[in-house]
Structures are given as structure tokens and as C-alpha cells.
Structure 1
Amino acid sequence: MAVHGKKAPHPYLPSVIDSDEYLEVYCQPCNIEGERIPAHGFCTDCNEHLCGTCFKLHKKHKLSRNHTLLDKENMPKRMHAPTSSSVHLHQSDELTKACLKHQKEMIKFYCHDHKELLCSVCVTLQHSATLCKVDYIPDISVDITDSKYYNDILRNLDRVTDLCKKISEDTRKIIAKSEKSVTDALADIRKFRKEINQRLDELENQAEDDAEALQEEIRINLKTVERNCEDTATSLKTTTDFIKRLNATGQADRLFMELKMTEQMIEECEKKVQQVPSYNYEEYTFQANHDLSAFLKNDMAFGTFSKKPAEEPSVSSSDHVRTRQANLQTKICVKTSEDNEICRISGMTLFTPDLLIITDNRNKAVKLIDVRGHSIIHQIDVDGKPCDITAISSTELAVTLPDQKLIQFISASTSRLSMKTALKVNGECYGISCYKGRLVVSFCNPAKLQILDVNGTVLTDFTGENIFSNPVYVKACSDFIYVSDWKKGTITRLNWQGDVVGIYNGMDCPSGFTLTNKGTLFACDYSKEVVEEVSSDCSEGNILMSDLKRLEALCWCGETNKLYFSTFTGDIKYDNFLQVYKLS
């Protein structure tokens, strides 16, 4: 019990300390546990007095068996007050965290080799002194306060905390963006449904108007026949009554003349009756449009949810070509029974990863191809020889008809193509590409490039023989426009203001090409019969495939890593097929 006015003695220090700070000789390890046992020896390494039991254990324990021990005769007869650097009495009460492996033991040691906190059991069983460098925690924690290690840990905690906050913030933005995309998609669904309803109302009204017009026409015609027949019958009845009266009154002369006139009238009436159209009783039924019925039976007729295509990369000079492996996967026959000529596939665009839409120049046709099933789903004829094709939206395409100086718009679904309006342009349009509602079109005679909106308004006109000689294919992305020039043997990169910002001269006769999702280009060389990969800045190129006959059109699918291309040789075994290569 503490005495009033005096401080209670420290539980781990002797109660009497002389002026020289010397203490009674007792076992210091046992004193930590609250026991005061006379000392039996002394460890010079630990600078501690030990009782008989601790003295024996000190010789056996792997961490202390090599320490220098003094017996009772040679040990110091008095002892100094223990310092924090030797016995760490001020820290002993902090070693109270239980070991994760041995719940009844406290963590007191640290293994530098395995970077693990240990209890005495862990040290004995798994971290022997011969294998690991193990220290007693109070021995190595003296200078930890405000140390560099302490500050480094705090900085790392702040860094990881900031990273977590940033990820959380980015995640919230992604969630908001994702939810907005779904909200926008639902709005598009409602808008699409409204458009369908409006269109169906228009079609229904049209059908009703047609039915009513047919009904009115039939009614008028039948009423006319009915009225003419009634008038004729009335006239004949009057004549009959008049002849009967003449006969009854014996007016032979007049009767004779009337009979002769009536005879002619009968012949004329018979002719008129025979000339009256035969209007039989007919019933009418409604026959639903087969394509519309099939469309509504399709599970995906209304539309599907799909991942939004990633924004085309803003290509830069840092996008270089790399080594790729190309392997022929298959060939797809594009010849149909409707074709009269060998195919010439001059343009291609992907509708979905499984659907490809191509232009057949010789057969004046546009074809929808199932690349997975190797079959042609639908084919339509166009009014001219189509050259190139591009997607304007998820349901609409644009095809160039250079001989007609037209851009033909085509509606597309997963099972059918149909003609829409055509746009008149002021030249022989060849290549076409669409980016965000802007059509980029190449022309010959004179050579030029135009940017138009979908209504045909010319937004920009790039003309000049110093830039182009015979521009054929064109591709547009967010920052640049690429044009292959057949005569110059170049692929030219322009910005949207028309400035030339790159030219690739490594080809003889460049024809079709396509942009990759990495920003580079795959380009056909008709003369060299190779496919090259060209860097986005047109500074370098690398032959990807060779010995491929006369290449013309090219299309790349980034989702499947497949490259489609056609040939223009005049040989049915090449031109009637699309070749499909898998790239890795």
C-alpha cells in the first residue's frame, strides 16, 4: 500500500537505491515477472544477473548459449540500475500482442531474414539461430521513435491512402459514367420504340388508306354497272310496253318500224352488256409483310445491348509497327447465283464482329456476309458499280457509285439490306469513310478530297495535284485522315484542316487499307502483292504478309484479330473468295 506523500516504488526496480545507484543482487529476468530471486550468476552479453534456473536455461537456449557467463563467485557483487538499452524495462509491458500461430505466446522477437514477428515458440521451431538472424524486439527498437523507418512507413501509408482515395474517386466516376450509359441506352430504347410506333402508325394509316381507296373504287365501278344496267332495263321495259300497245291496237305499219328499231337496240344492248367488266363477289384479307413478321419473331429484333466501342486512339508518332504472326484461317466464297460476273470486292466494312458488308463492283451488288457461317445472308443490287463502303451508324451505310457520281445510303440489319436515298456529288467518288457524322470522300478527275455532312453539304474541300494524283481509299479517325494514292504510290496523313502531316513512300501501288485499334495501318500493295503494317505517323512500315496475289480491299476486326482482304486478278479461284488471316 502506498504511503501518503511518497511515490510508490517502480514494480520492476528494488525499493532501496543508494546514492551510487547500486542495487541488491537479484535475478533480473525473474524480476520482470514480479519475482525477487537471489542472483546465481551473471551474463556479460546481456549485462544481467541470473538466478540458478535462468543461469541453466541461458546455457541451453539457442539465442544465448554462446553468451559469456560468470558464476556466483565471479559475478559482480552489486549491480547497476538497468538501463533502457540493456533490459528495456520500460518496454517490457508493451510486448502483449499474441502470436498469430501460437495464441498463448506473446510476440517478442523479429526475424530479419523472413521479415516476421515471432514468439519464443516460433523461434524455437522455425527460426533457429543457425538459419536466421533473430533479435529480441526491445534490443532493436530503442531508436525507432521518430526514425527514418518510422517516417518512411508514414509516407507509404499516406501514399497507399491517397491511392485508395484516387481509386475510390475513379470508381465513383466509372459508376456514374456506367449508370449514365445505361440511362442513355434506356432513353435510346424509348426513342427507338417511339420511332417504331410512329412508323407503324404511318404504315397502318397507309394500309387503311389503300384499303379505303380500293373499297371506294370497287363501289364506284359496281354502282356504275348497276346504274347502267338499271337504265338499260328501264328503257327496254318502256320499249316492250310500247310494242305491246301497237300490237294491241293493230297499228301494223308503226309496229313493223318499231320492231326493226328495237331489234337494232337489242343488239347494241347485248354488246354493251358483254363489254361490262365481270365483277364477281370477292372477299379481302390482310397479308402481313413477311420480312416484318420474321423481324418481330427474331429475339434480337428490337436491338441488343453491347459494349460501347472504344474511342479510336489519337494516333501519334510514338505508335510504331511491331512484329506480328499471320496465319491463314479460312476462305469465304462470296459468289452467288444472282451474280453474272466474276466478283470484284472493292470495299468492306464490319457490321458486327460476325457480319461483314462488302461491295461487289463487277456484279453491281452489296452483300451481307456471315463470316462465322461462311454464308451470304442477303444481297441487293445498286444502280451502278459500287467502289467503297463505310458505316454511318449502327443501322446505316454509305456506298460510293463513281460512275453515277452518287453516294448511296443503305439501311442494314442483321438479316437484310435495303436501299435508302442517294446523294448527288460533284465528281467520281471512290473512297469513303465516316467519323462522327462527317463523310470523308476521295475523288478523281480532278483529284481531290472532300468532307461532307450526311445531307451533302461540303464542309471542306482539299484540292491540288501537289497533294493527290489518284486518291482511292480513305480512312478517318479522331485526329487524322489517311489517303492511299494509286499513282503517287503513297499513303498521306492529313489533319482535319487539310495540312499534310505525314507521307509513307514505301509502296508501289497502295490500294485498300484499314486502321488498327493500336493506331497503326494495315495496307495492301497491289503491285508488290504484300500487306504492310505502317506506323500511325507514316514514318515506317513493315511487311506483314507476302505472295498474296493482287490485293484490293482490306478490313480489320480488332475484337477477333482477323484480317479480311480481297483480290483483283480476273481469276475465279481468287476473286470469288475473301481470305481470312488470324494475327497474333
Structure 2
Amino acid sequence: MATTSMYIASDQVYDYSCSKCNEDGKNIEAQHFCPECEHYLCENCVKLHKGYHSKHTVFGRGDIQKWVGFSMDICDQHGNNLEFHCDDHQELCCHVCLALWHRHCNNISHLPDLARGFLKTEEFKQLPVALDNMRSRLDELRNARMKDQASHEDSYKNILAEIKALRKEINFIFDQLEKKTVEELDSMMKHLEKSVKDDIETCAQMHHQLKNMVKKLQQMSGKHKETSSYIVYQKCQNKLIKADSMIQEITERPKQRVLFYPNTKIETFLKGLDNLGNSDKVQGYKCHSSKYVSVKVQGDESNCYIEGICEMPNGDFVIADRTNKRVKLLNSQYQVIDHCELPGYLQHLCHIAVNEVAVAARYEVHFLKVTNRRLQKVRKFTTEHECISIAHHEGQMYVGSTTVLYQYTMDGELVKKIYEDKSGNLTADKCAFSPDGERIYVTNRCKHTLLTLDKSGQVLSTFKDPELKCPRGVCVSPSGHVFVCGREANTVLQVDREGTQKLTTVAKKADGLEWPRSVCFSEQTSSLVVGKYGENNIIVFKLY
């Protein structure tokens, strides 16, 4: 730090003055600092200091960054005693600070005057508690971040294992393709080799037969020579004709060669890939602000119980009001613009197509269309079990019934039972699909857990957290962000896509959330829409 020189009342002001000289009324610039004594020392005083305190470490101006922060009543900037308080800037000042930066300030207090009687104030008495509380918060944050660090390391190891497993699977696939291709080549070669071998053997046999005929012809004698000669002649002619025919048949036969034509689609596809998959840094959302919006309409006989919420492609929302047995259409400002009544208590709903939704209502599944911002009933199918949740993926309906999750066709034909847990009540409450359809998220109210199933119904993971007491609604955004309500904990949590850990507590009671039943996340507006228990409002959280 450079030395600042100016004159006040004929005295030169230094950035650091010698502490020992100041005690004698002298104003000498300090060149050294002893952190153990908390003294700034000039060249003369440092010599005396070394004589008295030979084991103390003294920092010169080359280590001036180590001079500050050792004494509470010393100015961090200049090393002088703190004497004043600038009320305009709410800063503690030494006489150098006052001369350099606060000369034009109107409200300067002398610290002894300002501090008189302060030891008896409640504010000062509570200071140790405030400091301890802040230390506790810092410890909690540090521990949380250490857990995050460990979680990141675990995630890295898990993803690395997935990459290697994927590479192993790809290698296996290529091994199988290679095996099949080689088997086809072996079969082809076996056929060709047999054909060539048969021709070689045929030529050898014909050659041997002709050779024998030549010998017979040379051995002919006696009175019957002419007759025998004629016979041999005829037989030789026949054999020559056969040999000629055989040669002609073999030579005119198309030549067979073995060629290999690589499947260029494989190479083209692989060259078109940038990697084996994308590693995504999952965003944990936080609540920025919230607002209540009334969804009660004329004719509602009871308080609204919003059991299901889904967003339409145009930014409108459709909600299921259980007790009033009404499906309500909200615009993007969350105002009710239309509604229609259905028989039975409405339990859940989901988006199906561009303008179509499905609603679970006791023992029925109803299909509705949104046309010109009006709700229109289309059709329905009935079930032999109660329908309390509903989801859709690739033309298949998935209907939950307290302890069982079923798969249906769009026409209401039962396909199969996906999952069942009869260990308690409401073990298969609400459900939602991941965008790729590889995972199904199911809330288990009985055991206060969120289950993640594969598409065959096998449990992949079970998530439990103190802030997930009595989980109800669950939703998955188009990008795969997973949100789940803890009804009795008054929370909405965001969990990772594998359903193994909490990413963040998005909203809680301090944010105005009470008794959440349903949830929907809008990526278009980065808003979380939550349906509540027995109130006429939904609550909309703006997230960041």
C-alpha cells in the first residue's frame, strides 16, 4: 500500500503510524507490524522490539497484507485506533479515515460519546446470541454444502459407472452384430467350399475314367479286336460327351465370389454423435415470490379442493375441483374462464394431447377437450375400481386406485396391473411420468415416501425426507424436473430425476404454503402452481 501524505494542522498523516511513538506524542510512519503485540513499529522501535521479543514474528511492508485484522479497535485500513463513527455512511473511522473520506460528512460521532451506556442495552446483550446463531447457520450451510460436495462426487461416480455400463452394452451389441455377421460369412463359405470341392471331385473322377479307357484301348488284341475296338470307341465317345457336358456346365456356371458390404448407417450414425449421452447439471429452484389467486366461481357450494392441475400448450391451466365436482379452465393469469360439471368427486387429471385432458372421477375416467377456450365433454370409460390418480404416456392411460397402479388403453380396456402394495392404505396415491416414459413417480401417503418405478412397475428407488410428510401431488415438467407436495409438512420439494435425493425445498409454510394437495410447474413462466386443501385459492410461486 502506498503511503498517503497530507497535512492537517501541520501534522503529516500516514497510512500506518508507529504505535509506540504515538504513545509518546510523536507521529512517525510505521514500517513494521507485530501481530502478537498488535503494534505498528517504525525503524527505531522495531529494533527495541526485537531486543525484548526476539521470538515474535514481525511483518515488514513487503507483507503489508498481513498487517490488518488483528485488533477489533484498530482501523483495518490504516492501523490507527478507531475514534469516530460516520452516521451518514454507517462506518467506523480513525482520524485518517476522517481526513481522507469523511471530511464533507455532516454527522460524525465521537465513539466514547456514542458508546456511553451501550453495555446495558438489550441490543448489546443479545450480540453473543446473534453471533452464535449466525455461526450455527454458517455451520449448517457448510455441512449442507459438504453433503452437496459428497453428493456431487457420488453422482459423478454413478454417472461414470453408467457411461462405462453403456459402453459395455454397446460393445456387447457390436460383439453380437459381429458374431452374426461372421456366422453368415461362415455359412456362405461352407456352401462355396462344398460347391468347389464337388466340382474338383467330379473332374478327378472323370479324369480317372478316361485314363482307364485309354489303357483298355491300348491293351486290345486278338480276333475280336475290331468288335472290341468299336465297343470301346462308342463308350469313349459317350464318356467324352459327358466330360464335355460337365466341363461346359461348370465353366458356364456364374463365378461366385465373397464380398462384404459394410452397413454404412452404423458408421454414419456414430460419426453423427457428439457423445454417449448428456450430463446435465440439474437446477434446484427457489421461491422468489408468491401470490394467492381465487378459483371459486358462482355456484360452488363448497370450499375448493384442487386435486389436479395441468398446463395446456398455450399457457392456460385446467384444474380439478374435487368437492364442487367441477373441472375449471384458467387463463395464463389464473382467472377462471370456463368450467364444467362431472359426476362424482374429482380425484385427479392429466394432459393427454394438444387440447385434451383426462379426469379421474371415482369409478370413471372422463375425456375433455378445450376448444376456443371452452371445456367440452368428449367421452368416458368406467372401471371396477376407484380412480384416484391418472397419467398418460404414448397412448396408454395409467390409473391409480389407492394401492394399485393399472395400465389401460385409451378405450378403457384393462391391459395389466403395473404395481401393487397392500401393506397399507394409499400406498399408490398420485402418479406422474418422466418425459421419456422410463420412470413413473408414485406418492405413498401411508409410508411418507416417493417411489420411482420403471415402466414395468419395478421399484427403482424410494425417497423419504422429514419435509415430505404425507406426500400428495407430484408433477414432472417437460424437461424432467420433479416436484412433490408434503401435505402435512406444508412443503413442495424438488427431487432429482432418479428419485433418490432432495435437490431443494422450493416452498414451505414461511412462504405462505399450507396443506398442498396438487402441483404443476410451468417452464414457460418458471412458476409453480399449487392447489390447496379446503380453500378457494391456488397459490402461484415465482421461481428462480
Structure 2 length-normalised TM: 0.45
Structure 1 length-normalised TM: 0.42
